[in-house]
Structure 1
Amino acid sequence: MRRGTATTTAAAGLAGLLALLPLGAQSQETDPSAPEARLTIGQQIAVEDGDLIGITPLDLNLRTGSRVQTIQFSLSAPFRLHDPDEDKSFALGDPQARLLLRRGARNSAIEAELGYRENDLDEEILFDDLSNEFVTLDGGRVAQTDARLTYVFGREAKLGGEFGLSWIRRDYSGTTDPDLDDSETRSGNVAFYLEPTPLVRARILAEASRTDGEVNDSRSDRYGVGASLQVDKLTNLDVELARTHIRREEGDGTVEQAEGPSLRLGLTRSRPLGDWSLSFGSDPGTAGRRENFNIGRTLELRRFTLTGQVGVTRFQDNYDPIFQIAYNQKLTEMSQVQASLRRAAVTDNDGDEALNTDITANYSRQISAVSSIAANIRYRESEVQSGDREDARSVSFGLDYSRALPNDFSLVAGANVIRSKDSDGTHDDEERVYLGVNRSFSFLR
């Protein structure tokens, strides 16, 4: 099976990139609004599960724009040599690309995004955008293509709104899990905002989603009203009441439907060191109604930031604790630590319910003006509450080192380990050690 590659500095800007893959040296912070064109190419040697593989990372970052317009493009195309899991001696690894166009004025903005990524399923743990997915242990691969278009107007007016369209295509190959169904999801949303008084901003909303799979199809519609109210100078209340309809059809012709009201409440109160928050949500589902209740607190101090939420979720008359904690501290001028813990209820496109637990910790240190080191760990677990999926868990650890060399060269080295297991005893272990040299070329500067 093809493993993820050692990435370089330019790959760090790609949305959805593997969070634990090695990064190249970054000598200084760059201005995110400045034009940039950067190409990075290198040669690396990796030992993956006992096999010696050559890797040639190729990464490209482009960014240009003005005060009202931004264009960004990122591409990662790593090539692999003598990979035993490939039919050819020279093959493309896990390609990823993303294009973002944004144009905005004071009162309106339009944004379009197009992306593609391909990777092994057992490395899904490394992606940050999978909070609503189950942990999957399977030996196949997945390719995802997505597109999004959003238009917002009247952001500072008494009458405004937003329109959104999105499309996602997921294609699986080499898999054995019947729940991994090739699918195409199309969704859209519209909302209109009215501000009858300076303290009240009301809204009318409608959402629709359609997922067509090779086996299962899913449909959902949601429409309703809501309002944000400023109770006093420190307190804000947000209320939303909607009607939701869900319909799912399985491959054997079985149809599951659910319809009912959706209620969401949010209360925030500002304090000198951070906000207090309270939230409640109740939504219907084909496997039962889900209700979530949370109390949160944010602390913003001079040396660190701490955000926490604790609550309970109710599903099929069962109550389970849910929580979310995020910690960020700059230890010294040369080092930083980040950690997060999250447990939340999720529902996949087939209507299966689970409790997902996600733990991450990252430490980085600038050893000198030209070298840095980073360590990270991530744990993900899915406890299935409805459906025929297996409980599964994965943990990964990464240690990466980079050193800047003359003439825009950089030395990169590190190791990554992944350990996975599901409730029927299936194991999936991956190990990789790599060493290489990268070269970067910068333009437009």
Structure 2
Amino acid sequence: MTRAARRRSGRPFRTVVAGLAVLLPLAAAAQDADPSAPGVQLTVGQQLAVEDGDLIGITPLDLSIRRATRAQVLQFNLSAPFHLNDPEEDSTFALGDPQGRLLFRRGARNAALEFELGYRENDLDREILFDDLSNEFVTLDGGRVAQTDARLTYVFGSQSKLGGEFGLSWLQRDYSGTTDPDLDDHETRSGNIAVYLEPTPLIRARILAEASRTDGDDGNDSRSNRYGAGASMQVDKLTNLDVELARTNIRRFDEGVLETAEGPSLRLGLTRARPLGDWSLSLGSEPGTAGRREDFNIGRNLELRRFDLSGQVGVTRFRDNYDPIFQISYRQEFSRVSQVQASLSRAGVTDDDGDEALNTDVAASYSRQISDVSTIAANIRYRESEVQSGDNQDARSVSFGLDYSRALPGDFALVAGANIIRSKDGDGERDDEDRVYLGVNRSFSFLR
């Protein structure tokens, strides 16, 4: 069976202050929240699945709670599927892949507070292909991973010349049943603070500081600090420039060996508005214990009546090697009942051990409402990691999914589908998974 996972990656600290204008939608979203949104929705069902020749009974349980006013939003989502006779579980009746998330957001005209707490547990084969983990390495391994995370963000001074942002985040990942020694349990704590100043109506400057700490059970620890300054400037009516210059310090213990990196980091972004969409240019340079990585991109967005298209092309430099990078996304609504989405990206990533890789990600999906009561959807995703430093193997994995749903009387719904996964690593090792399922769900709504 395909197994894919790599520890939370990106630079040791990826929560980068991108400007107060990016963070202020916290307040706007709270003010614009729909008070008439449904209060509680519960979905239960019974499904039969055939996976690799084994017949499995699945009882999905999904709970959604949402309470909203113009000033605040409280939202809770829980998914807890129960499995019967699953050969991968230790008992006959077991909890499958539980997931839960709590979100609280409160906003005012000049400030916003957001808190989020989440938990999820799943097989490693679904960690990369069915979750948005674009910065993880693809590896083939068995077992499961449980992730608990929390985040707190506070923004103030949104309508004044002096403002700021304060953020804290925590992540715990626990692995079980794995054979890869690099998949060790670890905890990451990070925080950031930024102060924004507006000396003129066309310039918004910022002073920032960031820190991250990762502690692994195997003794491999990582420390990262970053501090600097930046500014967002309106060059003219059509052009905006954002520049950030910082000092980065990284200390990492890998199997008892101390690895360090220190130096300046530069980020530059330029956008120019055009009638059909924006042009953009970005430049980044970041130090790392395995070498400095530099990225350069040119992008274009097109917003037409029939479809949206955006793309970036560029080059990344690592250890004097140049590799092309790109990102393309496409979305089109053929009619009110059908739409298609597709994306293609290739980018350099760094994990907590300082290992570097080039990740390629291809995804496409199509959905169509066949009638007033039935819908069909298909999706495909391909992921590949080309390792540039470290002892990991190159690996690639592809998945295909087909889902069908049909509304039945009495708030019942018929669901059916199939999932196929194929994977292979640099040593030629292959892992496959096939699942076909059929079932009936029913939804209950309360407190509307």
- TM-score, normalising length from structure 2? 0.92
Amino acid at match of 1:236: N
Q: Contact 1:294 / 1:309 at 8 angstroms: preserved in 2? A: yes
Q: What corresponds to 1:427 in structure 2?
A: 430
CA distance 1:204–1:33, change in 2 (3 Å)? farther
1:234 counterpart (227, 232, 238): 238
Please report the RMSD computed on the Cα atoms of aligned residues, expressed in angstroms: 1.4
Task: State the distance in 2 between where 1:145 and 1:250 align.
Answer: 24
Q: Contact 1:2 / 1:120 at 8 angstroms: preserved in 2? A: no
Unaligned runs of 5+ in 2: 4-32
Task: State the distance in 2 between where 1:379 and 1:432 align.
Answer: 18
Task: State the distance in 1 between where 2:243 and 2:358 align.
Answer: 26
Q: What corresponds to 2:227 in structure 1?
A: 223
Q: Contact 1:42 / 1:56 at 8 angstroms: preserved in 2? A: yes
2:378 counterpart (375, 379, 400): 375
Task: State the distance in 1 between where 2:139 and 2:108 align.
Answer: 43
Asked whether 1:248 is paired with 2:258, we answer no
Give CA deviations for 1:344-368 in whole Å, capped at 9, x if unaligned: 1100011000000000000000000
Identity of aligned residues (%): 81
Q: What corresponds to 2:80 in structure 1?
A: 77
Task: State the distance in 2 between where 1:437 and 1:369 align.
Answer: 18
Within 5 Å, give how 1:249-328 maps onto structure 2.
249-251=253-255, 253-328=256-331
1:442 counterpart (424, 442, 445): 445
Segment of structure 1 superposing worse, 303-312 or 120-129: 120-129
Q: What corresponds to 1:191 in structure 2?
A: 194
Q: What corresponds to 2:91 in structure 1?
A: 88
Q: Contact 1:98 / 1:113 at 8 angstroms: preserved in 2? A: yes
Q: What corresponds to 1:114 in structure 2?
A: 117
Segment of structure 1 superposing worse, 32-41 or 207-216: 32-41
Task: State the distance in 2 between where 1:85 and 1:237 align.
Answer: 53
Q: What corresponds to 2:22 in structure 1?
A: none
Q: What corresponds to 2:415 in structure 1?
A: 412
Q: What corresponds to 1:337 in structure 2?
A: 340
Q: CA deviation at 1:31?
A: 6.6
Give CA deviations for 1:48-87 in whole Å, capped at 9, x if unaligned: 0000010000000010120010000000000001112222
Q: What corresponds to 2:7 in structure 1?
A: none
Q: Contact 2:144 / 2:177 at 8 angstroms: preserved in 1? A: yes
Unaligned runs of 5+ in 1: 4-29
Question: How many residue pairs align between the two structures?
Answer: 418
Q: What corresponds to 1:399 in structure 2?
A: 402
Q: Contact 1:35 / 1:65 at 8 angstroms: preserved in 2? A: no
Task: State the distance in 2 between where 1:126 and 1:383 align.
Answer: 17
Q: Contact 2:222 / 2:252 at 8 angstroms: preserved in 1? A: yes
Q: CA deviation at 1:296?
A: 0.2
Segment of structure 1 superposing worse, 125-134 or 149-158: 125-134
Asked whether 1:162 is paired with 2:165, we answer yes
SS at match of 1:122: helix
Amino acid at match of 1:304: F
Amino acid at match of 2:278: D
- TM-score, normalising length from structure 1? 0.92
Q: CA deviation at 1:214?
A: 1.3
Q: Contact 1:2 / 1:83 at 8 angstroms: preserved in 2? A: no
Task: State the distance in 2 between where 1:127 and 1:171 align.
Answer: 19
Amino acid at match of 1:223: Y
Q: CA deviation at 1:36?
A: 2.5
Amino acid at match of 2:404: Y
Give CA deviations for 1:152-211 in whole Å, capped at 9, x if unaligned: 001121000000000000000000001111100000000000000000000000000000
Amino acid at match of 2:194: A
Q: CA deviation at 1:129?
A: 2.9
Amino acid at match of 2:238: L
